[in-house]
Amino acid sequence: MPAIIELRNATRVYHKGETVIHPLDDLTLTIEAGDFVALMGPSGSGKTTLLNMLGGLDTPTSGDVLVCGQNLAELSPRQLARWRSGHVAYVFQAYNLLPVLTAYQNVELPLTLLPLSRAERRRHVETALKIVGLEDRMSHRPDELSGGQEQRVAIARALACDPQLLLADEPTGDLDAHSAQEVMDLLVALNKEYGKTVIVVTHDPKVAKMARRQLHLEKGVLTKDFANGG
């Protein structure tokens, strides 16, 4: 499989007063299209910085970050926003659903920024909600859904734009064990059945074991990289 992600000596530096912080330090990494990767490490290890860099929400201080064939370090903020809309989607620990909107309207919201007709938007929304098993809940507002259902709506919202890359930051962190398993089963199905490349930041070893590959960061450095079951 071709690489969907290539990091070449990617470094991110922040300055806090006179202190220099390196969330990522000279990181070189390749992830193939269609892979399912769990990203682990203690707090402050650089996981979220890496995820944000892969999604074009942050840029390297030095080095290259190539995602879907594009060197993100070469794009302006406006170009990055346009690139994200066509290639990458996020799922967060907090579902970030608008409480006054129905499940259908929450999923439709990002599509209103794209040049789609109303009928095309409806087709995208209904397909996404069907994939996550919530086609019978599309008229329900978030307060009428369980936490697991809210996260599945958030995943449907991410899928509606048909991204190549799905980035999930602690997607099961606020869920009970049963709902967490349902969400992870869904992410596994999206990877296996729909070919989505999935990267999940997690502290949960059970979640990490459901991925194909585990990456472990320590102080911005990749310390472990291994395939599950291999």
pLDDT of residue 30: 96
pLDDT (tens digit, 9 = 90+) per residue, 34-93? Answer: 999 999 999 889 999 999 999 988 889 999 999 998 999 888 888 988 888 889 999 988
Q: Flag whether pLDDT at 225 surpasses 70.
A: yes
With beta carbons less than 8 A apart as the criterion, state whether 126 and 135 touch. Answer: yes
pLDDT of residue 120: 94
SS3 state at 120: helix
DSSP H or E run through 140? none
Print burial letters for 119-130: b (CB count within 10 Å at least 16), e (below 16). Answer: eebeebbbebbe
pLDDT of residue 132: 93
pLDDT (tens digit, 9 = 90+) per residue, 161-173? Answer: 889 999 999 999 8
pLDDT (tens digit, 9 = 90+) per residue, 191-202? Answer: 999 999 999 999
List the domain boundaries for the chain: 3-227
Q: Flag whether pLDDT at 2 surpasses 60.
A: yes
Q: Phi/psi class of residue 46: alpha, beta or left (left: φ > 0; alpha: ψ in -120 to 50)?
A: left
Mean pLDDT (the chain, rounded): 91
pLDDT of residue 1: 64
Show the beta-strand stretches assigned E in 33-81. 36-40, 62-67, 70-71
| C-alpha distances out from residue 230 to 30, 157, 190, Å | 18, 33, 22
pTM reported for the whole predicted model: 0.89
Q: Average of pLDDT values for 115-136?
A: 93
Fold of 3-227: Rossmann fold (3.40.50)
* Residue count (the chain): 230
Taking alpha carbons only, the member of 3, 15, 6 closest to residue 61 is 15
Q: Burial level of 101, CB count in 10 A (0-12/13-18/19+)?
A: middle
